[in-house]
Structure 1
Amino acid sequence: MYTQVFAATGVLALLTLVPGPDMAIVTKRAVSHGRADGMRTVGGICLGLLLWGALTVAGLAALLAASAEVYLVVKLAGAGYLCFLGVQALRHAGADPAVRGEQADRRGGSAWRTGLISNALNPKIAVFYTGLLPALAPSGLRPAVGMALLVAVHLLLTLLWLGTYVHVLSRARRFFARPRVRGALDRLTGVVLIAFGIRVATAAS
Structure 2
Amino acid sequence: MLTANELAWFALAALVLVLTPGPNMIYCVSRTLCQGRSAGLISLAGVVLGFLVHLMAAALGLTALLLAVPLAFDTIRLTGAAYLLWLAWQAVKPGGTAPFEARLLPHDRPARLFSMGFLTNLLNPKVAMFYLSFFPQFLHPDRGSVLLQSLALGAVQIGVSGGINALLVLGAAGLTRFLSKSQGWLRAQRYLMGSVLAALAVRIAVTDRK
Question: Which TM-score applies when normalising by structure 2?
Answer: 0.61
Structure 1 position 199, deviation (Å): 1.1
> Structure 1's 130 and 118: CA in aligned 2 closer, same or farther, altered over 3 A?
same
Aligned equivalent of 2:141: 130
Cα deviations across residues 118-160 of structure 1 (Å, max 9, x unaligned)?
Answer: 22123535x51634443xxxxxxxxxxxx75665565445323
Q: What amino acid does structure 2 have at the position aligned with 1:61? A: L
> Structure 1's 183 and 109: CA in aligned 2 closer, same or farther, altered over 3 A?
same
Q: Which runs of no fewer than 5 residues in structure 1 stay unpaired? A: 1-7, 100-105, 135-146
> Structure 1's 197 and 149: CA in aligned 2 closer, same or farther, altered over 3 A?
closer
Q: 2:86 aligns with which of 61, 84, 87?
A: 84
Question: Which TM-score applies when normalising by structure 1?
Answer: 0.62
C-alpha distance in structure 1 between counterparts of 2:169 and 2:76, whole Å: 33
1:120 pairs with 2:129: no
- For the aligned residue pairs, the C-alpha RMSD in angstroms reads 4.0
Aligned equivalent of 2:28: 35
Q: 1:24 aligns with which of 16, 21, 44?
A: 16
Aligned length: 174
In the TM superposition, 1:1-205 aligns within 5 A as 15=7, 18-29=10-21, 33=26, 35=28, 39=44, 46-55=52-61, 57-58=63-64, 60-64=65-69, 66-67=70-71, 70-91=72-93, 92-93=95-96, 97=101, 108=120, 112-122=124-134, 124-125=136-137, 128=139, 130-134=141-145, 151-152=150-151, 154-173=153-172, 174-175=174-175, 177-178=179-180, 179-205=183-209
Q: Which runs of no fewer than 5 residues in structure 2 stay unpaired? A: 31-42, 104-116
> Structure 1's 204 and 189: CA in aligned 2 closer, same or farther, altered over 3 A?
same
